[in-house]
Amino acid sequence: MERGIVRTVPDAPAVTIVTDGWPSALIAAQALRMHVRAVYFPRRLHAGFDLRNYRVLEWKDPDDFDYRDLHGTTLILSGALSFVRRNCDRLTTVQSLILQVFTPMEGVSAKEAKRSCAAVVAFMRSQGLQVGLWADARAGGCTDAVYRVGFRSQFELDAVPTPSNAVERSLQHFLDPKISPYCALPVETSTFEHLEGLPPERRPMRGETIQGALLPQGLMALKDHQVLVLAPSIYHPGSRILRRLSINERLRMHQSPLEFDGFVKGDPTVGVSTWSWGLVQEISESLTPDMYVSMFRQLWGYGGGGDAEAASSFESM
């Protein structure tokens, strides 16, 4: 251990992180002062990280990953099913593994979504992993995203880790009333009085009765960047406005640290670019840093897993 560094999870082994997207596991490991031996993530994202702040031996592209680089560390592998399958012939030899697979839900039928999730679970179990269910809405987020995470080796727990139940949040907790009302439609508050009195719905709320907008007390679809939200505004007293979320609001929803805002937004002199929204989408496809922190602490900080019964009941919903 480096002199002067106090580790928040002192029993955690060194980890090797491999992902085809945003490295949230790296952000969480840094916050907990864990030892990261090597990290492999898309080279286009490397510029967002100041290497001087990370005590990491190797920064490489995922295509450069070699299993000889593990050196007894725990492998944290995340990405699309097609990405992790490319490594499946060697996954069985890894004794210590955390595997997170993202399954997109937008633009697919309920039947196809169910089939895709079943394929992820089947793949994880074929690799001998215990499978846990991680829901953004259960971990302080406000999207309908659900992730599958697999565990192996020393993670032979009575119940696999699950997100610590955070204070329930919904879209309204991330709305900024100071957002400029450009391209916004003012709506008299009385128009939505009967809807605004509804209790928090833990699902996206859409439909003709609300003109295609989301109510602030609901959840939003993970990657739906075009949706209109009924939001408060300091520029329209006595009214609400229908508008799209800003990049700042989306970054806070996905718990992206403030230090990455400049990298995500790019050059402010050229306005909001397609790359900005593309990167926000990429960030949204990973477990949030808080989810990884919860996971690491359960595995190596506190000991023990989550509530298997609660996870099972949620998966059946």
- Please, which pLDDT band fits residue 175 given cuts at 50, 70 and 90? very high
- Please, which pLDDT band fits residue 41 given cuts at 50, 70 and 90? very high
Alpha helices (H) in 80-220, listed in sequence order: 81-85, 88-91, 110-126, 193-196
What is the rounded average pLDDT for all residues in the chain?
Answer: 80
pLDDT tens by residue, 97-138: 999 998 766 666 778 778 888 999 999 998 888 999 898 888
For residue 143, give the DSSP letter: B
* Predicted pLDDT at 75: 92
Q: Measured in Å, how far apart are the chain's first and last C-alpha atoms?
A: 44
Q: Hey, what domains does the chain have and what are their CATH numbers?
A: 15-165+287-315 (3.40.50.150), 171-282 (no CATH)
**Across the beta sheet with 185-188, what order do the strands follow?**
185-188, 239-243, 228-231, 213-214
Predicted TM-score (pTM) of the model is 0.84
Between 167-181, 194-208, 215-229, the lowest mean confidence (pLDDT) is in: 194-208
pLDDT tens by residue, 71-107: 778 999 999 999 998 877 777 778 789 999 987 666 6
* Predicted pLDDT at 21: 93
**Cα gap 49→38, rounded to integer Å:** 14
* Predicted pLDDT at 1: 35
Pairing mode, if any, of strands 185-188 and 228-231?
A: unpaired
Please give the residue that has the higher pLDDT: either 208 or 300: 300
DSSP reduced 3-state for 242: strand
Q: What integer is the mean pLDDT of 267-278?
A: 64
DSSP reduced 3-state for 147: strand
From residue 80, give the alpha-carbon distance in Å to each of 21, 59, 100: 9, 21, 9
Is pLDDT above 90 for 252?
Answer: yes
Q: Comparing C-alpha atoms, which of 111, 98, 92 is closest to residue 148? A: 98
Q: What integer is the mean pLDDT of 247-255?
A: 91
Alpha helices (H) in the chain, listed in sequence order: 24-31, 81-85, 88-91, 110-126, 193-196, 247-253, 261-265, 274-284, 289-296, 308-315
Q: Which two tokens stand for residue 291?
A: 């989810």
Share of the chain residues as helix, strand and coil, in percent rounded to the nearest 5: 40, 20, 45
* Predicted pLDDT at 270: 52
